[in-house]
Each structure stands twice: as structure tokens, then as C-alpha cells.
């Protein structure tokens, strides 16, 4: 290092000296003409120094080139030596797959005497050469050959960059059979956790003779044990209506292949029970340990119950998988949960400075009715309340205008952007008629509110508001308004609903039940009776659902484009643009369902930004499962979806694909 530094300094000094000599020669010639000989001598010295400097640079460049050439030769020799003695099987082919060279370790794999001029795809048939050529930045793929598994890696190179020549493909083969076997064995022996729960235990038992109850319980136990007899695990009955099952992961695919037949076996039991028995299964798998899988199983069971029960749900580290869910939700006769939720609601309202109520985008009668009903409960606690309401239809506007006429409703309805300034840590946020953050009027409020209450009746989807202090989610309920009507009866001893408020809640029930036709149970009529006592005029509510001639013609235009895509399934795709596309799609789907031979109907309309799909069914076809494949949701008989950045034709194709997949799954 010191010698190199000295040489660099010497070279710099020589360069400076030669220019100094030149300057001296010029000065001598100009200032002292009599010393002409000295000036010539200095000029000659300058030329000598220039020549020496030039020769020194030339020799140095030659030394550098010679050193680089020797280094290249050493590198080529090292490369060749490495290839010849590479510790793993290796093969070099031309770009078309013809073998150019291979080592002995690779020859042992293929057990061939001579592989030259043969194509690698003829030798290893499972190797997809097209995939190899597409991996320009680095080849990495798995290949199975002669019952062994190999991890193949390599690259595509050009041997001589200076000359035009063909590219070569280098492939290194690493035998990972034993590693994969151990990995598979490890994964198969991990413990999965399943929770099995009888959905409607209390309702079934309350309607049975005491003498028949032990027989039914025994038959349920037997069916569950028979179903699990082909697997090896530990089954424990932890409660009267709940089982806990630990089993090795290897048996999970067997349960999946059997489509969880225990669901149907239990449903078919007839031991004196008037209502069919249904069970829900939540399975946790893929976690780091058994505690994580236990958490997953509870999440899966909550998902199954939130979707109406009578189904199995598998939860791993990335997703939910659903099986079953063919029956309608069973209405629960007990109102204990409603009373408990009402008490907790009252406490949370009292603990906060203000309350903000928010529903889904494009609110309908059910959303507004539920919000208005809850606003009365807040006012009874002497707390300020606001309802977030963005763009909406003309029917909803009529309810809002009638409420604004009330003295205590002035300023209650606010725009989504106005809520940002109101919501803080001292605010209670109540979300009604949706459980999906992306569907809310202003999802940013979910992060700002001090406490969140969620009240919804839709079957649960994979997207869910997680940070709730209180969740009242009952998919058996006909509507959010029915749930709110029940809560109001327990929130205060005397509920002072005004007539417009009661009619708003009643309209929400009428909307989701199609005027007490769909999803109507005893509790639905009880809620309607409660509202009727507060002055509901059914004629006035009926008028809320009236449409003008233009809306009627638009709805008829959608229905007129209906086509049957398979037996009992109708789809209408309308290219016309409407003012209220989501409302018209829902109304058109209802109209289509009234036609002979239609078991389920889908109406597809659009705006410039979005495609709306509304699905309706008599119950044989689960439209919620179909539209869930498109990112939508709802209930078995009533569901919807909203698709962005798609044309109507693309939306139609996706819908038909989802329908085909649904019926294929049902036939398996």
C-alpha cells in the first residue's frame, strides 16, 4: 500500500514539474533574450519529461491489462474446476433443451449412459421447459422424478459476452425428498382443534317430552362419534350442547372430502323433536401451536353461528372456508340476550358525552328506521345524538323530512364528512344494519370513536368490525329494525316513541320482510305489535313504498330483459341508467321472483362507477352464498353485491360463473 501511494505521489510530482519547466522556459525566453541557450535547454527538459511521463503511463496500462488477463485466466480455471467438482447434480443445456454437458451426480439421477444431444424434457418428462425459459432473473422450480422430489435452480447465461453465441441454461438439482417428507410428517401430526355446537338446543328441548330428551341427546352423541370414528382424536363433551375435538391435521382432508356429513345426519334425527336439530362446527388449523388453533376454532364457530348455523367453517392463518349452510336460520324464542344487550347499551350511552349512529352507504328504510329507533333511546338518556346519512333514495328522504319537523330532531341528520369533527374518544358510535367496515358511511369513524356498538342481522362475512365493545348480531332476525324494537322495550320502562319514529322502524321491518312475507317469525310480529301501539299507521307506511310512473317503467324495463340461465335461475342485465339503481334492482328482483318457474332471480344494473346486483330467492337457492363469491352478502333469500371498475358484461359473466360454482358445490 505504501509503495502504491509513493508511486501515485511521484507521478503527480512529475506532471507538475514538467509544466513548471515549460513556464520557466517561456519566462526565460521573454525576459532574458540573451539567455537564449538556457531557454532552449529548459524546453528540451520539458520535452524529455513529457516523453518520460507518456512512457510511464503506457507501461502502467500494459501492466494493468496483463494483470487483468491473468486474473481472468485464473477465474476461468476456477470456474471450470468448480463446475467439474460441483457437489450437486448439474446439467447444462442449450436454449432449446438439448443437453450440452452434465456431471456424474446428474447421471446417477437419470441412470443414463450418455445424455449428450438428448433433450432434457425427454429425460425428465415432468420438467416444464416453458416455465424454465420464462424465469429470466433466476430459475427456481420443483420437479418430481423417479419418485424423488428435487428443488431445481439455476440461470440462463451467455458464455462469451464479446461474441455472438447461443445462450446456455444451467440447472442445479437438489434432492429434497427427505426434507419434504419430514415437513409433511410434521404438518400432518400438528394438532387441529374443532368445536361442535348444537345451534338450537334450548328450542328443541323445550318442545319435547321429558321422556324423549335423553334418547335425542344419546342419538346426537352417537352421530357425532360415528362421524369421527374414521379419524384418530380426542372428543370431549364440555357442555350440554358443546363438544371439543382434538385431532391430527392429516384427518382434516378426510372430513372435508366427506362434506361434513354429520350436519345432515343430525338434521335428519327424529326422536320426538318437533324442530330439526342443527349443529355448527368451527375448526382451527394452520396455527403455530395448539393455542393459536384453539383461537382460530372459536373464530370459525363465531363465523358459523353468525351465518345462521348448520354449517362448518375452517379458519387458518389466512382465510375462512365454508361448508354446508343449506337451511334457514332458526328463530330463538328466548329474549334473555336482548335484555342483556339493552342493559349494556343503556350503560354505554350514559358513559359517553355524545352518540353517533351510522349505517351502510345508500341507506334504506331498515338502516334509517333502526337509527331513528336508537336515537329515541339516546334522547331518553338526555344525550345528544346524530345520525350519519349520506346519499339516499327518495323514500328515505320522506322519512327524514317528517322527522325534521319534530323539535328534538333538528340537526340530528348529518353528512358523513361532518361526523369527523364530532367523533372522538368521548363518543359512542353505533353501527346498524351492517358489520362490514367498507360498507359504512364513513369507515374512518371506527378508528376515532371511544366505544363502538354493532347491531346487525345479515349473515356474517369474512369482513367484520373487530374493535366493538358490544356486538348484537342475530342472523335469524328479519331486520335491524326488529332487533331495535326489541331493545327499546328493555332499554327504558316507558319508551316514548313518536308516531313518525315508530313508522320509520315499522317501514324497515316491512322492507326486509317484503311486507311480512320473508324471514317472518313470532318475534317479528311481536315487534310490529309493539310499534303499532305507538301509533303506526299501516296505510302511511304503505304509501312510503309507492313509486312514480317513471320508476315503475324503469323497474318494468329491467324485468323485461330477464333471461333464464338455468332451470329456476333468472338474470336480468339492463344497460339503462337510473337515478336509484340499487333500489330499482331490488324491486326488479322481487318482481322477477313472482314469475312462474323462477326460484331465484338476479337483477344487474349500473352507474358510471359501480355495478349493482340484487338477488332474491324462495329459499331453495342460497343467493347469499352466490353473491358472497362476488364480495357481496346478505341472507339466504335476500342478498346484494356492488362491483367497481367492471362493465355490465364482465359483471354478468362473473355472476354466471358464481352461479355455476354454487350448483357444482351443491351437487358434490
Query: What pLDDT score does 332 carry?
Result: 62
Average pLDDT over residues 369-384: 92
Has residue 71 got a pLDDT over 50?
no
Please tell me the least confidently modeled range out of 247-251, 395-399, 651-655. 395-399
Q: Confidence band (pLDDT; 50, 70, 90) for 15? A: low
Q: Which phi and psi (to 5°) does residue 139 adopt?
A: -85, 125
What's the CATH number for 191-324? 3.30.70.270
Query: What pLDDT score does 330 carry?
Result: 58
Please tell me the least confidently modeled range out of 92-96, 300-304, 391-395. 391-395
pLDDT digits (tens, 9 = 90+) for 542-570: 888 877 788 888 888 899 999 999 999 99
The DSSP call for residue 176 is -
Cell of 383: 344525550
472 CB contacts (<8 Å, ≥6 apart)? 337, 341, 453, 454, 455, 456, 483, 487
Average pLDDT over residues 356-378: 92
pTM over 0.85: no
Q: Confidence band (pLDDT; 50, 70, 90) for 75? A: very low
- Cell numbers 328506521 correspond to 369
Q: Do residues 458 and 435 lie in contact, with contact meaning Cβ atoms separated by under 8 Å? A: yes
Which of 6-10, 25-29, 249-253 shows the highest mean pLDDT? Answer: 249-253
Q: Confidence band (pLDDT; 50, 70, 90) for 72? A: very low
Query: What pLDDT score does 159 carry?
Result: 63
pLDDT digits (tens, 9 = 90+) for 609-620: 889 999 999 888
Has residue 218 got a pLDDT over 90?
yes
Please tell me the least confidently modeled range out of 39-43, 234-238, 253-257. 39-43
Query: What pLDDT score does 46 carry?
Result: 72
What's the CATH number for 554-667? 3.10.310.30
Percent of the chain topping pLDDT 70: 86
The domain limits of the chain are 2-83, 90-184, 191-324, 336-544, 554-667
Q: What top-level class would CATH report for the domain 336-544?
A: alpha beta
Average pLDDT over residues 385-396: 84
Average pLDDT over residues 460-484: 88
211 CB contacts (<8 Å, ≥6 apart)? none
Mean pLDDT score across all residues of the chain: 84
The DSSP call for residue 119 is B
| Of residues 197, 175, 324, the one with CA closest to residue 256 | 324
Cell of 97: 433443451
| Of residues 374, 330, 367, the one with CA closest to residue 487 | 374
How many residues make up the chain in this entry? 668
Query: What pLDDT score does 227 carry?
Result: 93
pLDDT digits (tens, 9 = 90+) for 182-217: 988 988 899 999 999 998 888 888 888 888 899 999
pLDDT digits (tens, 9 = 90+) for 291-321: 999 999 999 998 888 887 888 999 998 888 8
Q: Confidence band (pLDDT; 50, 70, 90) for 327? A: low
Q: Confidence band (pLDDT; 50, 70, 90) for 68? A: very low
- The beta strand positions in 378-469, using DSSP E, are 385-388, 413-414, 427-432, 451-456
pLDDT digits (tens, 9 = 90+) for 419-468: 999 999 999 999 999 998 988 999 999 999 999 999 998 888 778 898 88
Q: Confidence band (pLDDT; 50, 70, 90) for 74? A: very low
Query: What pLDDT score does 35 carry?
Result: 67
Query: What pLDDT score does 321 carry?
Result: 87
Has residue 399 got a pLDDT over 70?
yes
Give the torsion sign (CA, 657, 660, 665, 666): positive
Has residue 580 got a pLDDT over 80?
no
| Separation between Cα atoms, residue 55 and residue 49, nearest integer Å | 10
Please, what is the angle between helix 365-380 and helix 480-491, to 10°? 10
Which of 20-29, 172-181, 349-358 shows the highest mean pLDDT? Answer: 349-358
Domain 90-184 CATH superfamily? PAS domain (3.30.450.20)
Amino acid at each position: 500500500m505504501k509503495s502504491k501511494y509513493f508511486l501515485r505521489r511521484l507521478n503527480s510530482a512529475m506532471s507538475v514539474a514538467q509544466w513548471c519547466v515549460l513556464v520557466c522556459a517561456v519566462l526565460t525566453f521573454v525576459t532574458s533574450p540573451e539567455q537564449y541557450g538556457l531557454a532552449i535547454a529548459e524546453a528540451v527538459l520539458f520535452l524529455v519529461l513529457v516523453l518520460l511521463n507518456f512512457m510511464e503511463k503506457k507501461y502502467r496500462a500494459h501492466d494493468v491489462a496483463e494483470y487483468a488477463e491473468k486474473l481472468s485466466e485464473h477465474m476461468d480455471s476456477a470456474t471450470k474446476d468448480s463446475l467439474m467438482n460441483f457437489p450437486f447434480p448439474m446439467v447444462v443445456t442449450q436454449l432449446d433443451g438439448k443437453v450440452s454437458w452434465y456431471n456424474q451426480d446428474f447421471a446417477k439421477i437419470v441412470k443414463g449412459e450418455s445424455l449428450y444431444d438428448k433433450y432434457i424434457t425427454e429425460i425428465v418428462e415432468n420438467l416444464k421447459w416453458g416455465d424454465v425459459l420464462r424465469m429470466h432473473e433466476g430459475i427456481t422450480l420443483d420437479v418430481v422424478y423417479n419418485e424423488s422430489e428435487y428443488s431445481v435452480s439455476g440461470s440462463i447465461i451467455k458464455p462469451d459476452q464479446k461474441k455472438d453465441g447461443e445462450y446456455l441454461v444451467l440447472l442445479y438439482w437438489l434432492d429434497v425428498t427427505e426434507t419434504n417428507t419430514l415437513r409433511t410428517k410434521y404438518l400432518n401430526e400438528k394438532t387441529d382443534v374443532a368445536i361442535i355446537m348444537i345451534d338450537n338446543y334450548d328450542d328443541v328441548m323445550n318442545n319435547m317430552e321429558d321422556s324423549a330428551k335423553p334418547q335425542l341427546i344419546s342419538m346426537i352423541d352417537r352421530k357425532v362419534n360415528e362421524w369421527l370414528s374414521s379419524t384418530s382424536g380426542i372428543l370431549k363433551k364440555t357442555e350440554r350442547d358443546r363438544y371439543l375435538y382434538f385431532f391430527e391435521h392429516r384427518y382434516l382432508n378426510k372430513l372435508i372430502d366427506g362434506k361434513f356429513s354429520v350436519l345432515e345426519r343430525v338434521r335428519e334425527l327424529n326422536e320426538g323433536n318437533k324442530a330439526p336439530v342443527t349443529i355448527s362446527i368451527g375448526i382451527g388449523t394452520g396455527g403455530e401451536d395448539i393455542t393459536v388453533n384453539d383461537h382460530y376454532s372459536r373464530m370459525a364457530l363465531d363465523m358459523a353461528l353468525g351465518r345462521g348455523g348448520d354449517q362448518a367453517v375452517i379458519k387458518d392463518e389466512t382465510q375462512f372456508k365454508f361448508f354446508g349452510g343449506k337451511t334457514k336460520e332458526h328463530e330463538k324464542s328466548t329474549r334473555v340476550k336482548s335484555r342483556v344487550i339493552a342493559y349494556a347499551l343503556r350503560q354505554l350511552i350514559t358513559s359517553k358525552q355524545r352518540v353517533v349512529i351510522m349505517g351502510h352507504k345508500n341507506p334504506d328504510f331498515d338502516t334509517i328506521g333502526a337509527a331513528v329507533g336508537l336515537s329515541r333511546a339516546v334522547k331518553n338518556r338526555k344525550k345528544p345524538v346524530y345520525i350519519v346519512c349520506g346519499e339516499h333514495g327518495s323514500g328515505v328522504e320522506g322519512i327524514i323530512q317528517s322527522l325534521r319537523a319534530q323539535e328534538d330532531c333538528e340537526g340530528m341528520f348529518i353528512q358523513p364528512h361532518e361526523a369527523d369533527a364530532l367523533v372522538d374518544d368521548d363518543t359512542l358510535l353505533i353501527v346498524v344494519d351492517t358489520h362490514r367496515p367498507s360498507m359504512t358511511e364513513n369507515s374512518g369513524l371506527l378508528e376515532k370513536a371511544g366505544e363502538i356498538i354493532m347491531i346487525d342481522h345479515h349473515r356474517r362475512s369474512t369482513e367484520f368490525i373487530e374493535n366493538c365493545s358490544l356486538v348484537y348480531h342475530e342472523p335469524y332476525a328479519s331486520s335491524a329494525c326488529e332487533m331495535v324494537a326489541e331493545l327499546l322495550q328493555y332499554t327504558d320502562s316507558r319508551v316514548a316513541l313518536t308516531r313518525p319514529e315508530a313508522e320509520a322502524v315499522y317501514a324497515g321491518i316491512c322492507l326486509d320482510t317484503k311486507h311480512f312475507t320473508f324471514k317472518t317469525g313470532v318475534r317479528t310480529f311481536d315487534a310490529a305489535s309493539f310499534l303499532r301501539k305507538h301509533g303506526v299507521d299501516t296505510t302511511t307506511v304503505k304509501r312510503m313504498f309507492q313509486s312514480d310512473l317513471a320508476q315503475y317503467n324503469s323497474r318494468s324495463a329491467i324485468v323485461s330483459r330477464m333471461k333464464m340461465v338455468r332451470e329456476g335461475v333468472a338474470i336480468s342485465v339492463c344497460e339503462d341508467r337510473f337515478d336509484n339503481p340499487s333500489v330499482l334492482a331490488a324491486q326488479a328482483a322481487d318482481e322477477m321472483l313472482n314469475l312462474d318457474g323462477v326460484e331465484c332471480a338476479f337483477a344487474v344494473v349500473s352507474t358510471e362507477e359501480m355495478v349493482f346486483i340484487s338477488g332474491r330467492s324462495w329459499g331453495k337457492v342460497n343467493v347469499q352464498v352466490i353473491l358472497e363469491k362476488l364480495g357481496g352478502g346478505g341472507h339466504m333469500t335476500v342478498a346484494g353485491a356492488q362491483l367497481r371498475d367492471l362493465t355490465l358484461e364482465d359483471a354478468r359473466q362473473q355472476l354466471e360463473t358464481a352461479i355455476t360454482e354454487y350448483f357444482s358445490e351443491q351437487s358434490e
